[in-house]
Protein backbone atom coordinates (compact mmCIF):
# COMPACT_ATOMS: atom_id res chain seq x y z
CA UNK A 1 0.00 0.00 0.00
CA UNK A 2 1.33 3.40 -0.96
CA UNK A 3 0.74 6.27 1.44
CA UNK A 4 2.25 8.08 4.39
CA UNK A 5 4.94 5.98 5.99
CA UNK A 6 5.72 3.94 2.85
CA UNK A 7 9.38 3.53 1.94
CA UNK A 8 10.08 3.83 -1.77
CA UNK A 9 13.00 3.58 -4.19
CA UNK A 10 12.94 6.32 -6.84
CA UNK A 11 14.99 5.72 -10.02
CA UNK A 12 16.70 9.13 -9.79
CA UNK A 13 16.36 10.21 -6.15
CA UNK A 14 17.13 6.90 -4.42
CA UNK A 15 15.51 5.64 -1.22
CA UNK A 16 12.90 7.77 0.48
CA UNK A 17 9.93 7.77 2.83
CA UNK A 18 6.57 9.42 2.22
CA UNK A 19 5.84 11.70 5.15
CA UNK A 20 3.01 13.87 3.94
CA UNK A 21 0.37 14.52 1.32
CA UNK A 22 -0.73 17.86 -0.08
CA UNK A 23 -3.32 17.91 -2.84
CA UNK A 24 -2.09 15.78 -5.74
CA UNK A 25 1.42 15.37 -4.31
CA UNK A 26 3.20 13.17 -1.79
CA UNK A 27 5.93 14.81 0.24
CA UNK A 28 8.89 12.45 0.26
CA UNK A 29 12.12 12.65 2.25
CA UNK A 30 15.10 11.22 0.33
CA UNK A 31 18.25 10.33 2.25
CA UNK A 32 20.63 12.02 -0.16
CA UNK A 33 18.52 14.91 -1.41
CA UNK A 34 16.17 15.94 1.36
CA UNK A 35 12.51 16.74 0.71
CA UNK A 36 10.88 16.38 -2.73
CA UNK A 37 7.29 16.30 -4.00
CA UNK A 38 6.03 13.46 -6.21
CA UNK A 39 2.72 13.38 -8.01
CA UNK A 40 0.28 10.89 -6.48
CA UNK A 41 -0.26 9.34 -9.91
CA UNK A 42 3.50 8.92 -10.54
CA UNK A 43 4.35 5.21 -10.63
CA UNK A 44 8.06 5.21 -11.52
CA UNK A 45 9.22 4.08 -8.08
CA UNK A 46 9.37 0.73 -6.31
CA UNK A 47 7.72 0.20 -2.94
CA UNK A 48 10.34 -1.05 -0.49
CA UNK A 49 8.00 -1.15 2.50
CA UNK A 50 4.28 -0.39 2.24
CA UNK A 51 2.55 2.01 4.59
CA UNK A 52 0.79 0.45 7.56
CA UNK A 53 -2.86 0.75 8.54
CA UNK A 54 -5.64 3.25 7.88
CA UNK A 55 -3.78 6.27 9.24
CA UNK A 56 -0.16 5.23 8.75
CA UNK A 57 2.68 7.10 10.40
CA UNK A 58 6.27 7.39 9.19
CA UNK A 59 8.87 5.34 11.05
CA UNK A 60 10.40 7.35 13.93
CA UNK A 61 13.93 6.52 12.73
CA UNK A 62 13.08 8.04 9.35
CA UNK A 63 11.84 11.21 11.05
CA UNK A 64 14.99 11.43 13.16
CA UNK A 65 17.16 10.91 10.10
CA UNK A 66 15.25 13.63 8.21
CA UNK A 67 15.62 16.06 11.11
CA UNK A 68 19.34 15.31 11.39
CA UNK A 69 19.72 15.90 7.66
CA UNK A 70 18.02 19.29 7.91
CA UNK A 71 20.10 20.28 10.96
CA UNK A 72 23.31 19.27 9.16
CA UNK A 73 22.35 21.36 6.13
CA UNK A 74 21.42 24.39 8.23
CA UNK A 75 24.50 24.08 10.44
CA UNK A 76 26.86 23.84 7.48
CA UNK A 77 25.17 26.87 5.90
CA UNK A 78 25.53 28.79 9.17
CA UNK A 79 29.17 27.86 9.72
CA UNK A 80 30.04 28.86 6.16
CA UNK A 81 29.02 32.41 7.14
CA UNK A 82 30.92 32.53 10.42
CA UNK A 83 33.95 30.44 9.52
CA UNK A 84 37.05 32.62 9.22
CA UNK A 85 38.89 32.81 5.94
CA UNK A 86 41.70 30.29 5.65
CA UNK A 87 45.04 31.44 6.98
CA UNK A 88 47.43 32.18 4.15
CA UNK A 89 51.14 31.71 3.86
CA UNK A 90 53.23 34.61 2.52
CA UNK A 91 53.82 34.49 -1.23
CA UNK A 92 57.58 34.44 -0.87
CA UNK A 93 57.37 31.08 0.92
CA UNK A 94 55.09 29.37 -1.63
CA UNK A 95 56.85 26.33 -3.10
CA UNK A 96 59.73 26.75 -0.66
CA UNK A 97 61.48 23.99 1.25
CA UNK A 98 62.69 23.97 4.84
CA UNK A 99 65.90 21.99 5.27
CA UNK A 100 66.91 20.48 8.61
CA UNK A 101 70.60 19.62 8.60
CA UNK A 102 72.27 17.73 11.44
CA UNK A 103 75.68 18.88 12.68
CA UNK A 104 77.21 15.58 11.58
CA UNK A 105 77.69 15.86 7.80
CA UNK A 106 77.60 12.06 7.56
CA UNK A 107 73.91 12.12 8.49
CA UNK A 108 71.20 12.86 5.98
CA UNK A 109 69.33 16.17 5.95
CA UNK A 110 65.54 16.35 5.96
CA UNK A 111 63.56 18.59 3.63
CA UNK A 112 60.00 19.63 4.41
CA UNK A 113 57.79 21.72 2.10
CA UNK A 114 57.21 25.04 3.85
CA UNK A 115 53.46 24.82 3.14
CA UNK A 116 53.34 21.53 5.10
CA UNK A 117 55.22 23.05 8.02
CA UNK A 118 53.02 26.16 7.89
CA UNK A 119 49.88 24.02 7.96
CA UNK A 120 51.12 22.26 11.10
CA UNK A 121 51.88 25.60 12.79
CA UNK A 122 48.35 26.83 11.99
CA UNK A 123 46.90 23.57 13.39
CA UNK A 124 48.85 24.11 16.64
CA UNK A 125 47.42 27.61 16.88
CA UNK A 126 43.88 26.41 16.21
CA UNK A 127 44.20 23.71 18.88
CA UNK A 128 45.53 26.25 21.36
CA UNK A 129 42.45 28.38 20.68
CA UNK A 130 40.19 25.41 21.33
CA UNK A 131 42.10 24.73 24.56
CA UNK A 132 41.56 28.36 25.59
CA UNK A 133 37.84 28.03 24.97
CA UNK A 134 37.71 24.79 26.95
CA UNK A 135 39.51 26.39 29.88
CA UNK A 136 37.35 29.52 29.85
CA UNK A 137 34.10 27.55 29.72
CA UNK A 138 35.09 24.90 32.27
CA UNK A 139 32.76 25.13 35.26
CA UNK A 140 35.06 23.19 37.60
CA UNK A 141 37.98 25.60 37.30
CA UNK A 142 37.92 28.70 39.46
CA UNK A 143 38.92 32.08 38.04
CA UNK A 144 42.44 31.93 39.50
CA UNK A 145 43.08 28.56 37.84
CA UNK A 146 41.71 29.85 34.54
CA UNK A 147 44.04 32.87 34.65
CA UNK A 148 47.02 30.66 35.52
CA UNK A 149 46.34 28.28 32.61
CA UNK A 150 45.67 31.21 30.27
CA UNK A 151 49.10 32.64 31.11
CA UNK A 152 50.74 29.38 30.00
CA UNK A 153 48.89 29.53 26.72
CA UNK A 154 49.92 33.16 26.23
CA UNK A 155 53.57 32.14 26.78
CA UNK A 156 53.18 29.35 24.23
CA UNK A 157 51.88 31.89 21.72
CA UNK A 158 54.92 34.02 22.54
CA UNK A 159 57.23 31.07 21.83
CA UNK A 160 55.57 30.61 18.45
CA UNK A 161 56.13 34.23 17.32
CA UNK A 162 59.30 33.05 15.55
CA UNK A 163 57.02 31.60 12.87
CA UNK A 164 55.16 34.87 12.23
CA UNK A 165 57.44 35.47 9.25
CA UNK A 166 55.48 32.75 7.40
CA UNK A 167 52.07 34.44 7.66
CA UNK A 168 50.77 36.53 4.79
CA UNK A 169 48.77 38.84 7.08
CA UNK A 170 50.05 40.24 10.38
CA UNK A 171 46.64 39.84 12.05
CA UNK A 172 46.85 36.05 11.55
CA UNK A 173 50.20 35.76 13.30
CA UNK A 174 51.00 34.82 16.90
CA UNK A 175 51.31 37.33 19.70
CA UNK A 176 52.61 36.64 23.16
CA UNK A 177 52.56 38.64 26.35
CA UNK A 178 52.05 42.38 25.90
CA UNK A 179 54.39 44.42 28.08
State how beta strands 25-30 and 110-113 pair.
unpaired
Domain boundary among the residues 44, 61, 82 is at 82
**174 closest CA partner among 164, 165, 166:** 164
Average pLDDT of the chain is 82
Residue 179 belongs to a domain: no
- 73 and 106 belong to one structural domain: no
Indicate the number of domains in the chain: 2
Q: Considering only residues 131 and 33, tell me which one the structure prediction assigns the higher pLDDT.
A: 131
**Segments forming the whole domain that contains residue 160:** 91-172
Which sign does the torsion angle of CA 61, 67, 68, 69 carry? positive
95 and 167 housed in the same domain: yes
End residue of a domain, out of 24, 56, 82: 82
| pLDDT tens digits for range 160-176 | 998 999 989 888 888 87
Are 50 and 16 in a shared domain?
yes
Q: Is 162 in the same domain as 130?
A: yes
Torsion sign (Cα): 60, 66, 68, 71: negative
β-pairing, 7-10 vs 110-113, is unpaired
User: How does pLDDT run across 16-67, given as a tens digit for each residue?
Assistant: 888 888 888 888 888 777 788 888 888 888 888 887 755 555 556 656 666 6
pTM: 0.49
Q: Has residue 36 been placed in a domain?
A: yes
Instruction: Tell me whether residue 28 is in a domain.
Output: yes
Domain boundary among 48, 82, 116: 82
Amino acid sequence: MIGIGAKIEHPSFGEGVIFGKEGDFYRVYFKDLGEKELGIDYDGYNIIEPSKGESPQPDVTDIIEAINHVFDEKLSALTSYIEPAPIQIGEKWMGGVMTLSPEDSELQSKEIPIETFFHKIVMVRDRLRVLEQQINSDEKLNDADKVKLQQYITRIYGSLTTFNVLFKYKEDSFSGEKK
